[in-house]
Amino acid sequence: MSRWTPDARERLERAAFELFEEQGFAATTVPQIAERAGLTTRTFFRHFADKREVIYADDQFPRMVRRIFAEADAEAEPLEVVVDGIRRFADQELEGRRAKVLRRTAIIRSDPGLLERSLRKRADLAGAIRTGLLERGVPSTTASLLAQTSASLVELALADWVDQEGDRPFGDIVAEHLEALRAALGLERRPSE
C-alpha cells in the first residue's frame, strides 16, 4: 500500500496507552510515544492536537449524539429523546467496551491535566446535545439546561458503571439517576403508560 505502514494513528494510540500505564501520564514524553510507535514527534502532533488528546482517540460521544438525533422519534419529548437514545446506544456499543473504558478512566483519574481535558469532553457532549435539541425546536434555555443535565447524568453514570462491582447496564444507571434527580427537584414520577 503506502510507503509507510498505514496505521500510524492506531500505533501512536497504543504506544501512548502502554506508556501512560507503565510510567504515568506526566512522566511520559511525546518523543517516547513516537519512538515506540516507530514515528517522529512531529508526526504525533499531526495526528493529535496535543499530548492529552491521544487518550480520546476513540471517543464515541460525538457519534452517539448524531445517532440519537438521527433516530429520534419526531413526537417524543426532548428529555426522553436523549435518555432513550443514550440507553439504546449504550446497550449496543458501550457494554462490550468496559475493559477499554476502565483503562482510559484509570489513566484520566491519575492526572489533573487529563481530568481537565475530560471536562472539555463533557462540555463538548453537552454542546452537541444542545445543538440537537435546538434543531428540534427546543427553546434555548431549556435546551442548554437539558443538555447540561444529560451530560451530568452520563458523567455520573459512567463513573458508577466503571466503579461498580456487578454489571448493571449503563442505561439502567442513567435511568435511575434521572429518577433520583427528579425526586431531588421535587417532581413526581410520571404515571406509567
- Look at the block and give the residue holding cell 451530560: 151
From candidates 57, 101, 107, 181, binder to a copy of itself by CB under 8 A: 181
- When asked if residue 146 is in the footprint of a copy of itself (CB under 8 A), the reply is yes
Using the rule CB under 7 A, give the single segment among 1-9, 99-107, 130-138, 155-163 that binds DNA.
1-9
* C-beta of residue 132 within 8 angstroms of C-beta of residue 69: yes
Collapsed DSSP state (helix, strand, coil) of residue 48: coil
Q: How far is the CB of 164 from a copy of itself (least distance, A)?
A: 13
Q: How far is the CB of 2 from a copy of itself (least distance, A)?
A: 32
Alpha carbon separation from 17 to 56, 168, 170 (Å, rounded): 11, 27, 24
Collapsed DSSP state (helix, strand, coil) of residue 154: helix
Query: How far, in Å, CA of 45 to CA of 29, rounded?
Result: 12
110 contacts which partner out of DNA, a copy of itself, none, CB within 5 to 8 A by kind? Answer: none
Measured from the CB atom, the residue of 8 and 171 that comes closer to a copy of itself is 171
Collapsed DSSP state (helix, strand, coil) of residue 47: helix
Q: How far is the CB of 50 from DNA (least distance, A)?
A: 3
Q: How far is the CB of 119 from a copy of itself (least distance, A)?
A: 4
Q: How far is the CB of 13 from DNA (least distance, A)?
A: 13
Query: How far, in Å, CA of 157 to CA of 168, rounded?
Result: 11
The grid cell for 122 is 463533557
Query: How far, in Å, CA of 1 to CA of 105, rounded?
Result: 35
- Would you tell me which residues interact with DNA (CB under 7 A)? 1-4, 8, 28-31, 38-43, 45-47, 49-52
* Site residues, a copy of itself (CB under 8 A): 77-80, 115-117, 119-120, 122-123, 141-142, 144-146, 148-149, 152-153, 155-156, 160, 177, 180-191
